[in-house]
Structure 1
């Protein structure tokens, strides 16, 4: 694989598994000649927490943010629907948050932007019954930040970019995506896909679904949890991820009541 011969928009994933202590060279900023070139023609899926942070930073409702800045996108390997950042309608297809000086929402930039030029994968260790993170390097022909700069470990880079605190709230969501990828081309009912998209993109809509439908008559949700998710969007996300695992994979995390009302049954799958 001719890594060093990449040119222009050529892109390759270096097939080497990186550990937290693995060192690499990278720098990015106004002094690097290719500054901002990686902020165009992106296929950048947004995590549920990305949407919350960007929405709050911009002072928009979720519906307003989704309509103005995103478009639906099907993740290629999992087939699950998410929202991705919608590029501007110009020749370069630049990010809507890009200015002459750089990123206008840098403090709340999406998780994928924070990781670049690294990528994250999750491996399921079946013997130990747990997930293991691994990392890899993404090289693009225009990027000169990988040719010079300080040597830094993967974990030092993650810390410097504020990745742990923006990644932890969506760990369970990432596990859902990875698990669906590992299952292969198994068809998921349209209703389940709609539920996944709702939880992944629109907490306001999911909250209405929980409290204004027959949800609480069908699922056991204690009063403390109800009070918390009624007010706290992040707690609502965590609840939603556990519920999705129950809906998509049959995990017994949000229990169904033994006696479900016969009128207007919900069909999660």
Structure 2
């Protein structure tokens, strides 16, 4: 791990979900288009992991709570929806790095550019969102990313997820 130093994890408070989840591995499945995602967990054992030598035992629920995984799992679940959407090829034959792909890349990987784009194009005010939701989107990166995922599927997939004003 590039973040492991002599004193331990150098990014512990901000560690990603893979680190928080370990030694569990999480898999998700979806029974149908409108079905919720269902999580499955398995414990993995690696010889280098000293945690298996500890005497403490946890249930999956306890581990998720202690590691504060719910918000991370939510974002991973939302990403799984977007990733599955992308696998359906919403690019309409535009070719490599076309405008639709660049838009998707900006939303998913450059939150600062997407924030500027959404302000410049008045995205948030174009849709029927309650005042609190608009405020959260304007102030919080995670909320903006959630909106961005929904907006992408609305615009690229022509799904009527968002309601125009």
The answer, yes or no, to whether TM exceeds 0.5 is yes
- Tell me the residue number matched to 1:247: 155
- Tell me the residue number matched to 1:151: 57
Cα separation, partners in 2 of 1:187 and 1:235, compared to 1, 3 Å: closer
Query: More helix per residue: 1 or 2?
Result: 2
* CA-CA distance at 1:170 after TM superposition: 4.8
Using the alignment, how far apart are the partners of 1:250 and 1:147 within structure 2?
52
Q: Is the 8 A contact 1:119 1:136 kept in 2?
A: yes
* CA-CA distance at 1:140 after TM superposition: 3.3
Using the alignment, how far apart are the partners of 2:57 and 2:140 within structure 1?
40
- Tell me the residue number matched to 1:62: none
* CA-CA distance at 1:206 after TM superposition: 0.7
Query: More strand per residue: 1 or 2?
Result: 1
- Unaligned stretches of 5+ residues in structure 1: 1-38, 40-94, 258-269
Cα separation, partners in 2 of 1:123 and 1:113, compared to 1, 3 Å: same
1:106 paired to 2:16: no
Aligned-CA RMSD value: 3.2
**Greater C-alpha Rg:** 1
Using the alignment, how far apart are the partners of 1:148 and 1:201 within structure 2?
38
- Tell me the residue number matched to 2:30: 124
* CA-CA distance at 1:135 after TM superposition: 1.9
- Runs of 4+ aligned structure 1 residues displaced above 6 Å come to none
* CA-CA distance at 1:159 after TM superposition: 1.5
- Tell me the residue number matched to 1:200: 108
Highest RCO, 1 vs 2 (Cα 8 Å, sep ≥ 6): 1
